[in-house]
Structure 1
Amino acid sequence: MLILDCSPLTLSADEAREKLLYLLTQLAYREGSFTLTSGRYSDYYINCKPVTLHPQGAYLVGSLLHGLLPPEAEAVAGMTLGADPIVTAVSLASLQRQPANLPALIVRKQAKGHGTQAWLEGPQLSPGTRVWILEDVVTTGGSALQAVERVQEAGYRAEGILTLVDRLEGAEACYQEAGIPFRRLLTIEDIRAYYRARHTPER
């Protein structure tokens, strides 16, 4: 397993962002010829799970995303499966700083087939709790909006959407149209620039 050459616990925000870019380009990002789930062609592919499930990567993701949350945030939620490790990492990061003690909610893709038939997994929160929706990667924005709907149906307030990586393919405009605040840590161009700077042969 790839291990960073330093402890992420001691890094500044800028240093942490640099190390996270390194992990993403080493473990999550590939260039080539790829056919996506939609059937569309892409000249790159990104899967953040090898980073968000990496011990050091999870710490960096949790710390950096937590730093982008507004102080009034009271909980975080995300659509399974991509957001599962992210909401956990951000919740853990909230033990050390404000906004503090953020519970994590996981949004199911289908309602639970037994018992309470619930769409959300996690602690029961007070009605009107201010929840931020977390994503690993956003493309057109549909998945996060589904999570927004489920959170609202549960009686909570979906205050905004925060993503690790924005593919810059329409999600921001989608959220603006829906009236949902949107924040991102990185864009795909940040990752591509970092990757190419380190993989382009010198002439």
Structure 2
Amino acid sequence: MANQDLIEALRDADAVRYGEFELSHGGTSDYYVDKYLFETDPRCLRLVAEAFAARVEGTKLAGVALGGVPLVAVTSVETGLPYVIARKKAKEYGTAKRIEGRLDDGETVVVLEDIATTGKSALDAVEALREAGATVNRALVVVDREEGARDLLADHDVELEALLTASDLLAEA
């Protein structure tokens, strides 16, 4: 069952918009979930942190840059668990890493992400973490748009768990 408080908080933050929108993967949609509006709203962040904290059970956390960073940070504070940040590609300066933070070989990590559409962004993070020696078999997202992410991740032995689905969020809207 969907978390009604989180649905109301996302709506109150005006994070759910209707119209014609182009999505990052190139497709279009008649609604948009604006992660920047809910990730900069303290009430939304608190609810997400509490919900994620109830699901991470003592494992290392990983946030997908950029959208997953505020989510993994508040979840880390809520749980006391350390986290790393997975970049889409290595920086071309400084340490030139794809994984920022401390990660030990063989460590089990759960990926935290804002919105899953195709699942490509979460999968990129999973692959980077696995290449760095982590064990990754779960990804937690705030909203699953129900457009293939669950299947793509399952094809790579990763379970997708969503706090909300698009069906939950758009019901009665």
Q: What TM-score results when the alignment is normalised by the length of structure 2?
A: 0.90
Name the CA distance, whole Å, in 2 between partners of 1:184 and 1:68. 11
8 Å contact kept, 2:146–2:165: yes
Matched, 1:103 2:90: no
Q: Which residue of 1 aligns with 2:140?
A: 162
Q: Is the 8 A contact 1:48 1:136 kept in 2?
A: yes
- Name the structure 2 match of 1:23: 9
AA of the residue aligned to 1:41: T
CA shift for structure 1 position 75: 0.9
Q: Distance in 2 between matches of 1:48 and 1:116?
A: 28
State the one-letter code of the partner of 2:128: R
1:21 deviation in Å? Answer: 0.9
Partner of 1:135: 113
Whole-angstrom CA distance in 2 between matches of 1:52 and 1:155: 29
Q: What's 1:35 paired with?
A: 22
**Superimposed CA distance per residue, residues 170-193 of structure 1 (whole angstroms, 9 cap, x where no aligned partner):** 111111111112211100111111
In the alignment, which of 49, 72, 82 is matched to residue 62 of structure 1?
49
What is the alpha-carbon distance in structure 2 between the residues aligned to residue 192 and residue 68 of structure 1? 24
* Cα distance in structure 1, aligned partners of 2:22 and 2:10: 20
Measured on the aligned residues, the alpha-carbon RMSD in Å equals 1.7
**What is the CA-CA distance between 1:41 and the residue it aligns to?**
2.7
* Pairing 1:85–2:64 present: no
Count residues with an aligned counterpart. 171
SS at structure 1 position matched to 2:155: helix
Structure 1 or 2, whichever has the larger Rg, is: 1
124-133 or 30-39: which moved more? 30-39
Q: Are the counterparts in 2 of residues 132 and 162 from structure 1 also a CA contact under 8 Å?
A: yes
Equivalent-residue separation in structure 2 for 1:38 and 1:55 (angstroms): 28
The one-letter amino acid of 1:62's match is A
Output one character per residue of 1:15-69: Cα deviation in whole Å (capped at 9) or x when no partner. Answer: xx32221121232101122233444331111112211221222111111112122
- Amino acid across the alignment from 2:158: I
Deviation string 1:148-202 (CA, Å, 9 cap, x unpaired) is 01111111111311111000001111111111122111001111115x2xxxxxx
Hey, which of these two has a bigger chunk of strand by percent? 2
Please name the residue that 1:10 is paired with: none
AA partner of residue 81 (structure 1): L
Cα distance in structure 2, aligned partners of 1:126 and 1:37: 32
Q: Could you tell me how far 1:109 is from its partner in structure 2?
A: 2.1
Aligned-pair identity in percent equals 37
